Chains A and B, each alone.
Chain A
Amino acid sequence: MRVSFFATCIVDLFFPEVGMSAVEILERQGCEVDFPPGQTCCGQPAFNCGHTAEARTLALNYLNTFRDSEYIVMPSGSCAAMVRTHYRELFADEPELKKLAEDVAARTYEFSEFLVKVLNVRDVGASFPVKAAFHSSCHLTRELKVVQEPIQLLRKVAGLELKELDRQDLCCGFGGTFAVRSPQVSANMGDDKLDDAARQDAEVLVAADMACLMHLGGRNRRRAGGMKLMHLAEVLNRREGP
């Protein structure tokens, strides 16, 4: 199976090891992974601020880059939701591009969703003896409706004890430019999320979106917290004995 990997700008620039983990897992599952070099960003930051013309420019680049891909997989629920639910709005008045957008969107998957729904895998052979909580990021949950997939994968990680957050429904506070426009509110939201995980006695807070984790990790570091923040792909790529 041929898979085109969309790294997303955040993983590309800040967290390349997360991308490598995801690729290694996909390859181990027998996928032939390529990285179309034309890719940059899905355009979500501009779109979420209301700058649709700018978002359209970046969306076009995505569509051109991946138009011939069989499957497009990315380690982010938020970027996948941008492509899947919002691209068609950007090309609402351009029938040909709209069709292309819908066509490419149908081949676009978030990483855990692809593993479970397309590859039909639950156990990727990971082992990681740790107490972990999963933060179900907003767009992954509410726009892509990917709720059970990450949990199913985490349950198969040998030695991993999965803890449930009291308020898994609450946003972590990242929210794109929200994090910079309302930084104090955003940080307090992050604190509530980190405190929730700590309350569950979790050592690691896992998510399927690096943007949430960059915010939570940065906040955790600033307040010298003990929580470890990890992307789902990093957890699934662990092979540690107890």
Chain B
Amino acid sequence: MSFSERAAKAIKKPNLIRATKSAVQSFYWNRLAAYAELGEPEVADLKQRARAAREQAIGNLDAYLEQFATMLRSRGAQIYFTKTGAEAAQKVVDITRATGGRRIVKSKSMATEELHLNDALEAAGLHVRETDLGEYIIQLAGDPPAHIVGPAIGKDRYEIAALFAKEEGQPVDHDPQVLLQFARRKLRQEFLTADVGITGCNFAVAETGTIFLVTNEGNANLVTSQPRIQIVVVGMEKLVPTFADVEPLLALLPRACTGQAISSYVGMISGPRLPEEQDGPEELHVVVVDNGRSAIRQTEFEEALLCIRCGSCLNVCPVYRQVGGAAYGDTYSGPIGTVLTPLLRGLDQWSELPHVACSLCGACHDACPMSIHLDDLLLKLRQKTDREHLVSTGERWVFKLWTWAWATPGRYRLAARIARWLQLPFSRDGWIGWAPPPVKGWTDYRDLPVVQAETFRDRWAKRRLERGGRNAG
């Protein structure tokens, strides 16, 4: 299915679109309020320092990964480097099996979504439960995340109650407090009986080998304190050079996400538990995921690796709010998804996305706390589809012909004359209500003004003649 088809499907669900718009609108206002509270100079300073730290890390990624791994190993953690998504997922399955684990709890992680890790674990006969409330809801629904930060933002209380009822085998009231208590009770059982906990990683500090986990619900704290085994799945781009580098990043992430000054819980993990400790994992396994990231490094798209998954670009995107996350067809949606999906999954398979899911308005670049030029990257992807002949031959010829016609004023005038002739059967009162392709896309939803009998240049020429005449006279 194409983006256009998925978008058309989403647009047919008014509740979904209403909920999506309302969610991103509040994320957006909240971010502006949080930034306003800090003041523009401080926000600018934080952005500058955060980006510099991330650039430093991406520019020397191999060395920082090595340092990160060495630090963690020195405290008894095990680190694995994986190439493909399938390899990473298999590694998690293998660790779980080798440690005798059967029941898994997970805190929210976009990287594991990207690997389709749950499918791999379930295929291996393991029980896996998402514990972020939004992730829990979409796991029950079998949906991909609708938004990087709010995976279930398209679902209202009634849909959530229906999913919970199906899980429980009896009706569940749609009152939000009832839903909350239901999830707390169900998931608490999962936490207490799980032997493996899987988390993602928000920032990985090379200098100290520290894994940062940021949540509001506290579910990551339960995942890192209760199960016997902890597996951290970390995208290789998540590195920062020093502990101090996290300061501006942690100041920006929650503000850019939800407008909070800080998320309720920030965990900083540096190793498995010590013998004298009562809780925490006995074993800490860290799976570093490449899955296409290396191929982005040192290309014109490298900047995309600076992303910290805050969701700001989704919240300002005029397209995302009209279609929701599912329309993008993969893990990441909105502007960052439109850039990342073709880069991670292959532009040949995803060449449509950059052309149809973006109006090049540039709001994403303005909103991005890392100042990623998402609109430029989108444009570069479009250029790549042209270079690699991934656009239809028909389109290429339309543009070639158009350029030929408009390259000189003579041919341009001729083209205008032809257009006036072509539009004759379709025009009425100066407007066109229906036209064949390639104009049909326009006239399916809007009227099109006709090419004027007298263009601006015609009127200019006439005016000059009149004035010239007057002057002469």
Contact = CB atoms under 8 A, between A and B. Distances in A.
The short answer to whether A and B are in direct contact, CB under 8 Å, is yes
Interface residues of A, number: 62
Contacts of A175: 358-361
B457 A50 contact: no
B409 A38 contact: yes
B406 A9 contact: yes
B318 A51 contact: no
B323 A185 contact: yes
Contacts of B4: 181-182
A19 to B, nearest CB: 4
Interface in A49-82: 49-52, 54, 57-58, 61
B454 interface: yes
Interface in B366-402: 366, 379, 381-386, 391, 395-396, 399-400, 402
A49 B355 contact: yes
A174 to B, nearest CB: 7
B193 to A, nearest CB: 45
Contact of A171 (B363, B409, B454): B363
A170 B320 CA distance: 11
A189 interface: yes
B454 A142 contact: no
A198 to B, nearest CB: 17
B403 A180 contact: no
Contacts of A214: 448-449
Q: How large is the interface on B (under 10, 10 to 19, 20 to 34, 35 or more residues)?
A: 35 or more
Contact of A50 (B7, B322, B365, B379): B379
A182 B399 contact: no
Nearest to A142: B362
B409 A40 contact: yes
B11 A184 contact: yes
B441 A173 contact: no
A12 B359 contact: no
Interface stretch (A94-102, A152-160, A216-224, A232-240): A216-224
A7 interface: yes
Interface string A11-23: 1111110011000
Contacts of B360: 48, 138, 175-176, 178
A39 B455 CA distance: 13
B292 to A, nearest CB: 21
A182 B384 CA distance: 20
A20 B454 CA distance: 12
A142 B363 contact: yes
Contact of B379 (A40, A48, A139): A48
A69 to B, nearest CB: 16
B358 to A, nearest CB: 7
A212 B312 CA distance: 25
B383 A50 contact: yes
B407 interface: yes
B424 to A, nearest CB: 15
A16 B461 CA distance: 12
Given A50-B355, A138-B359, 12 more contacts: A13-B416, A13-B419, A13-B451, A41-B406, A46-B402, A50-B386, A173-B318, A178-B358, A180-B438, A187-B445, A189-B318, A214-B448
Closest 5 CB pairs of A and B: A175-B359, A50-B382, A218-B446, A171-B361, A180-B441
24 contacts: A16-B458, A35-B460, A40-B409, A48-B360, A48-B379, A48-B382, A51-B386, A51-B396, A51-B403, A52-B386, A54-B400, A57-B407, A139-B362, A142-B362, A142-B365, A170-B361, A171-B363, A180-B438, A184-B7, A185-B322, A188-B11, A214-B449, A218-B446, A219-B446
